[in-house]
Amino acid sequence: MAVTLNRAALTHAQELIEKGRIVKDERDDWSEHAPSTEQENAWLEKHGWDEFALWHLGVDESAPEQTKKRYSFPYGDYRRLHRCAIISLESRAGQYDHADIEDATKKLLHALDA
């Protein structure tokens, strides 16, 4: 699995921060705030794969298109970026040696906390 930074998703995340579409929640809140599988599927059916991709900082170009397996490192609830997700992603990206994603999450966290 060759997960790399989804640059379009990073740009989208930065725009959400600029527009104030953020939740400044606590470190461990992501498990409670992350969309459920049912919410994710309903949103995906309504908005499509291109929009779904914008909410994930990781992309695996070797995975089949239009599959959830292709996208990883979700950072929001499809309306707002969540600080707790960014913190979680930073840790996970570092743990799995995805340096480009880890660096992107650090920049996003800095922008959120500025």
The pTM for the full model equals 0.94
Q: How many domains is the chain built from?
A: 1
Give per-residue pLDDT as tens, 26-45.
878 888 899 999 999 999 99
Give per-residue pLDDT as tens, 85-102.
999 999 999 999 999 999
Domain region containing 50? 3-113
Task: State yes or no: pLDDT of 6 exceeds 70.
Answer: yes
Burial label, 43 (beta-carbon count in 10 A; 0-12, 13-18, 19+): middle
CA-closest candidate to residue 91, choices 103, 100, 104, 102: 102
For the segment 92-113, the average pLDDT, to the nearest whole number, is 95
